[in-house]
Amino acid sequence: MTHMSTIGRLLLLTLVAVACRDDNVPTYPKASEAIATPERLSYVVVSDSVLPAGASLVVSGNVDAAAGGEQVASFVARLRYDAGQLEFVSDDAVPGVMRAVNALDSVVVIAGASATGIPDSRLFVLHFRARIAITKPTLALTIGELNTVRFTSRIAKLRPLAALRLDRSLR
């Protein structure tokens, strides 16, 4: 029992250390992998696009499912936001995903991992509060690491979408 809790603590400490790094060096797949690997999209989903001051906003960072069902096992992401518009409040658990969240001024760093693969497109779910009335939240998602359950980096085939997606059921 003590051995398992020590391993869990070490894994969590490692995730926190990785999430706080600023020296991310991208790794690139071999030429043969780059041709065979499908492109994936990363995007942000928001619960609302027009918010009065004081209103809550739910935000999820997503990576679409790859062809053939290749699941994401670990990631490091940064969600930048306008601190004049929004205030970070909390994060929600995504089932089956262990995560570490570090909220700084204007950026939230999230590291996550799952031994069996993240069950859907959501990597993380965050809650914000509107500091002022907002007609369009300013958010930008950057993913620095993205690995599969087979320990293969997929960051080179990841294409970010700048446009926010709206899902009013996200609460």
- 150 domain residue, yes or no: yes
Give the chain's domain count.
1
Burial of 70 (0-12, 13-18, 19+ CB in 10 A): middle
- 171 domain residue, yes or no: no
- 72 domain residue, yes or no: yes
Tokens of 144: 């620095």
Helix H segments across 60-107?
A: none
- 98 domain residue, yes or no: yes
Q: What's this model's pTM, rounded to 2 decimal places?
A: 0.77
Domain region containing 130: 2-166
d(CA 118, CA 14): 19
pLDDT digits (tens, 9 = 90+) for 85-106: 999 999 999 999 999 999 999 9
- 60 domain residue, yes or no: yes
Residues 6+ away with beta carbon under 8 Å from 8 = none
- 24 domain residue, yes or no: yes
CATH assignment at residue 48: 2.60.40.680
Between the CA of residue 75 and those of 10, 122, 144, 153, what are the distances in Å? 17, 11, 7, 10
- 129 domain residue, yes or no: yes
pLDDT digits (tens, 9 = 90+) for 15-72: 555 555 555 555 555 554 545 567 889 999 999 999 999 999 999 999 987 655 688 9
d(CA 15, CA 76): 9
Between the CA of residue 142 and those of 43, 69, 116, what are the distances in Å? 9, 23, 23
Per-residue pLDDT for 4 more than 70? Answer: no
Tell me which residue of 146, 122, 154 sits closest to 45, measured CA to CA.
122
